[in-house]
Amino acid sequence: MAMAYCSVDEVIDMIKDDLMNQIIGNSYIEDVEERKEALRPLTEDAIRDADAEIDGYLMKRYPVPMAPIPAVVTKYSKDIAIYNLVSRSGLDTGDRESNYLTRYKNAIAFLTKVAKGDVDIVTEAVTKQQTAATGFSISCSPRLFSRSSMRGY
């Protein structure tokens, strides 16, 4: 898998053991390690989708994929990836899965603010001045008349 904003292990570690079988969906897997292995390709796809979604919001203002990766981007990548996994089998909004939906909505709200310019993500590679410089620029034609060029008229 190409450079991602979070790792497969980080996402899998955030999922409760009993929820793993629900996400996998085929059959009940008793062994936790086997469950994690079965979940790995699904998690890779979920992370890829999450990162593409994040890049869609960030590309207006930042070069993507971001490197180094800010911690806030990693956090929201994990939240979106888990939501992608849990929503595969349908989300029960009255149960604990509503927490995943809430985290997903918070991630999208944050990314929307970043895209609008209400919030900045400053990385080590991008200074505040560089971030500000990407917003807009003004240019004009050279000045035709000045005090020195009009002297004597």
The three-state DSSP-derived secondary structure of the chain is CCCCCCCHHHHHHCCCHHHHHHHHCCCCCCCHHHHHHHHHHHHHHHHHHHHHHHHHHHCCCCCCCCCCCCHHHHHHHHHHHHHHHHHHHCCCCCCCHHHHHHHHHHHHHHHHHHHHCCCCCCCCCCCHHHHHHCCCCCCCCCCCCCCCCCCCC
> Above 60 in pLDDT, residue 58?
yes
The stretch 112-127 carries a mean pLDDT of 79
Q: What is the pLDDT of residue 75?
A: 96
Task: Tell which wins on pLDDT, 33 or 144.
Answer: 33
